[in-house]
Structure 1
């Protein structure tokens, strides 16, 4: 119960270790009024944490079976402020943007431009980026009037960011 390591949730995916969930959530600097986009619903745990802080969470999952299970959990827990859909996370959810914060729970080799485009001015994104599971860094990206400011938070190991839907 106190282990700080990722756990399998099925379909070759994992839930991030508690420390990483906390670090990513805290790094977004949420004040309680923001609209947040999550890429990678997985078990729904990260979305549930976000839903306790902000009024609206939009979550995208590419694996239908995981999304179905997460939506059941959201209903059971009466988390009515989470909207979740089955889609390719590369695209984000442009119809509901722009977002004050975006959190990505799988590692692309480069940050998808569509996600950057959906970040509101002043918005923040936390995303693992890199090739392979051992060469990744957790990046904090802030959109400014001039463009994007990026800094590395720490080295991480996430499942790879995959395109398409299954």
Structure 2
């Protein structure tokens, strides 16, 4: 890694941890702060596909936020989905055939959703258990539709960042 790349990664990690900290202290902006902090792991992948830097950034933010952020559910959301998804999205879009990309992204999201639901029911919010098959299916379908909208929005944001960020 070059010095410039390490410095940029450190600044991105600091910004992401700060966003997660604010999201962990101010209740209502937690999800938005988590989503915005997740974009930081996509920045090293914009121009020169620095997968090693993106993974290192994700790990650093995950560890630091686990130590510093007061609400651990925000950290869990970042670790399970928001921070890791831009990296997974990059790998799927680079290496998977075009016709299977959407199904692979949905498979990743549904696995992350199962893990998040298990954590929510068993660890964080035991009283949050959803009962009834119809309710579970409705929440699941709504989550999948929301994920597809998020994926399209993230793709457009990445395209905009590629155009507007200065070259290395």
Same fold (TM over 0.5): no
Q: Give the number of the structure whose residues are more often helix, by fraction.
A: 2
| TM-score under structure 1 length normalisation | 0.31
Structure (1/2) with the larger strand percentage: 1
| TM-score, normalised with respect to structure 2 | 0.30
Which entry has the higher C-alpha Rg, 1 or 2?
Answer: 2
